[in-house]
Amino acid sequence: MSARRLLVAAGAMVLGACALGPDYRRPDVAQPPQYRLDTGALTVAADSVWWDSFGDPVLNALVDAALRSNYDVRIAAARIDAFRGQLLVARSGLFPQVGLSASATRQRAGTFNGTPFASLDGPRNNYQLLANASWEIDLWGRIRRQAQAAQADLLNAEYARRGVVLALAASVVQGYANLRGLDAQLDVARQTLDARAHALDIFRMRYEGGVVSQLELSQAENDYYATEASIPPLRSAIAQTENALSVLLGREAGPIERGKSIIELQAPPVGADLPAALLARRPDVLQAEQNAVAANALLGAAEALYLPAVNLSGLFGAVAASPGALWHSASQVWGMSAGLTQPIFQGGAIRGQVQTAGAQREQALLAYQGSVLAALADVNSALANGLETRNRLGSLQKQERSLTVYADQAGARYEGGYSSYLEVTTAQEKLFDAQLAAIQGQVDVLNGTAALYKSLGGGWPAVPAEVRDAGLSGNARPVMR
C-alpha cells in the first residue's frame, strides 16, 4: 500500500509540474501584404504538381524518377530515421526504467582454511532473480524540454528533406530545359551548316568559272567553318547536361529521354500567392523556425539544472541456494528508495550552460527572422526575373523575325548585283546569333518559372507518397504543439 501511495504521489507531482524556461512564441517577422511585383495569382498552385504545367509527360516521368531514386533524397530520409531514434531516446526519460536480472554462482568461501574444520568448506550455490526499476521525476520539465528539442530536430530533418525534394525537382526541370534548348541550338547550327555548305559549293563553282572573286569565296568558306566550329561545343554541352541529369536521376551517365521541343514547352504565367503563405510552406523557413523551437526548449532544460532532481528506485526478487527455493516466500527480497540531489556549488558550470543556451536561443530567433527576409527577397527576385526574361524573350523573337527578313533581302540584293557578299555574310551571322539567343531566351523563361516555384517552396504535397513518408513510417508524423 505504501508503494502504491508513493507511485500515485509521484504521478501527481509529474502532472502538476511546470516546465522551466519560456514557451516558444514565433517572433515578429516581416509579412508584407504583397510582393513588389503584382503579377497576379499563380495559374498552377505552388503546392501542386507544378512541373506538370509544362505539358511534357517525359519531363514528368524524369522528375518522378529523380524523386524516387536520387541519393540525396534517400540520404535525407535516412537522416529522419536517425533523428526519430534520438527523439525516442529523449522521451524515454519520462518513463520508469525497468530491468530484470538473473544470476547463478557457485563458489567456495574458504572460511575454515587452516583449521581442523577445513573439510567442511564445500562450495556454495547462490541464485538470484531480481526486477529493478528507477524513475527520475521530471518536476521542472528538464526531460520534457529535451524531448521538445529532439522533436524539433526531427521536424528540422523533415523540412530539410522537403528542401532537397524541392531543389531536386527544380534542378531536373531546369536541366531538362537546358537540354532541350541545346538540342534546338544544335538543330539550328546543323541546318545553318547545311545551307552554308550548299552556298559554298555554289561559290566554288562560280569561282572556278570566274564569276566571283577569291575574296567572296573566302567569305563563304569563313561562314561555313565558323558554323562548323559552333557544333562541337554544343554536342559537348549536351553530353555534360545528360550526365548531370543522370546523376540527379540516381543512375549511371547516359542518354536522357526527350519529349516536347523547347518551343512546345510552355510555362504558366508568372505569379505568386500571398507572402504569408510562404512562412507555412518554404522548407528553409520552416527549418529555421524548428531550430528556434529546439534552442528555446534547451534553454528551459538548462535552467532546470539549478533545481533538485528527485529519483525513485525499487527492487523486488528472490535470492536462494537452489533454483526451486527462489519461489519460496522466505527467499523474497525487496527494497524502495527515494533520492534527491541538489547542486550547491558547480564553479559556474550551470550558469555557463544557461548563458550558452540563452545565446543560442537568441541566435536561432534572429536566424529565423533573417530567413524570412531572405525568402521574401528570393521570391521578389524570382518574380522580377520571370517577368523580365519574358520581356527579353519577346524582344529576341522580334529581333529574329526582323533579321530573317534582313538576311533574305541581303541575299536578293546580292543576287541582283546591288550589294557585295559581305552584306549577306553580316546578315546571316546576325540571324544565326539571334536564333541561338532566342532559343536561350526560351530556356531562361522555363528556368525562371522553375526558380519561382522553388522560391515559393512549392511541390511537396504533390511528390509520390512513398517519398513523402519515407523515414516516417511506424509512428504518427510529429506535430509541434
Amino acid found at 57: P
Please give the average per-residue pLDDT across 84-99, as a whole number. 90
Q: All 3 cell numbers of residue 88?
A: 525516442
pLDDT bracket for residue 150 (50, 70, 90): very high
pLDDT single digits (tens) 228-282: 999 999 999 999 999 999 999 999 999 999 999 999 998 876 666 677 778 888 8
Amino acid of residue 90: A
> What is the domain class of 97-137+308-341 according to CATH?
mainly beta
Q: Mean of the pLDDT values across residues 197-214?
A: 90
Q: What is the mean pLDDT of residues 209-227?
A: 91
Q: Give the whole-number percent of the chain exceeding pLDDT 90.
A: 57
- Residues 6 or more apart whose Cβ sits within 8 Å of residue 426: 410
Q: Which residues contact 278 (CB under 8 A, 6 or more apart)?
A: 285, 372, 375, 376, 379, 456, 457
CA 298 to chain CA centroid, nearest Å: 25
Distance CA 459, CA 465 (A): 12
**How would residue 388 be classed by pLDDT, with cut points 50, 70 and 90?**
very high
pLDDT one-digit tens code per residue, 108-145: 665 555 666 555 556 778 889 899 999 988 889 899 99
Cα–Cα dist 242/236, whole Å: 10
User: Across all residues in the chain, what is the average pLDDT?
Assistant: 86
The amino acid at residue 202 is: I
Among 40, 28, 44, 30, smallest CA distance to 377 is for 30
Q: In a 10 Å sphere around its CB, with 0-12 CB exposed, 13-18 middle and 19+ buried, how is residue 14 labelled? A: middle
Q: Is residue 94 a contact partner of residue 143, using CB atoms and an 8 Å limit?
A: yes
Asked if residue 475 lies in contact with residue 87, where contact means CB atoms within 8 angstroms, the answer is no
What is the 3 state secondary structure string of the chain? CHHHHHHHHHHHHHHHCCCCCCCCCCCCCCCCCCCCCCCCCCCCCCCCCHHHHHCCHHHHHHHHHHHHHCHHHHHHHHHHHHHHHHHHHHHHCCCCEEEEEEEEEEECCCCCCCCCCHHHCCCEEEEEEEEEEEEEECCCCHHHHHHHHHHHHHHHHHHHHHHHHHHHHHHHHHHHHHHHHHHHHHHHHHHHHHHHHHHHHHHHHHHHCCCCCHHHHHHHHHHHHHHHHHHHHHHHHHHHHHHHHHHHCCCCCCCCCCCCCCCCCCCCCCCCCCHHHHHCCCHHHHHHHHHHHHHHHHHHHHHHHHCCEEEEEEEEEEEECCHHHHHCHHHEEEEEEEEEECCCCCCCHHHHHHHHHHHHHHHHHHHHHHHHHHHHHHHHHHHHHHHHHHHHHHHHHHHHHHHHHHHHHHHHHHHCCCCCHHHHHHHHHHHHHHHHHHHHHHHHHHHHHHHHHHHCCCCHHHCCHHHHHCCCCCCCCCCCC
The answer to whether residues 278 and 285 touch, using CB atoms and an 8 Å cutoff, is: yes
Pick the CATH number of 16-94+139-307+348-469 from 1.20.1600.10, 2.70.98.10, 3.40.1710.10, 1.10.10.10: 1.20.1600.10
Alpha-carbon distance of 51 to 54, in angstroms, equals 6
Report d(CA 353, CA 331) in Å as an integer. Answer: 48
Cα(139)–Cα(52) distance, integer angstroms? 54
Q: What is the pTM of this model?
A: 0.83
Q: What is the torsional sign of CA 386, 387, 388, 391?
A: positive
Q: Work out the pLDDT band at 40, boundaries 50, 70, 90.
A: low
Q: How many CB atoms lie within 10 A of CB 389?
A: 22
In the chain the first and final C-alpha atoms are separated, in Å, by 37
pLDDT bracket for residue 151 (50, 70, 90): very high
Write the pLDDT tens digit of every residue in 344-381: 988 899 999 999 999 999 999 999 999 999 999 999 99
- For the chain, which residues make up each domain, given as ranges? 16-94+139-307+348-469, 97-137+308-341
pLDDT-derived band of residue 466, with 50, 70 and 90 as boundaries?
A: low
Mean pLDDT of 185-203: 94
297 contacts: CB under 8 Å, gap ≥ 6? 21, 24, 145, 146, 148, 149, 152
Q: In what order do the strands lie in the sheet with 97-107?
A: 97-107, 124-137, 309-320, 332-341
pLDDT over 50 at 478, yes or no: no
Q: How confident is the model at residue 392 (pLDDT cuts 50, 70, 90)?
A: very high
Q: What is the mean pLDDT of residues 310-322?
A: 89
For 37, the grid coordinates are: 511585383
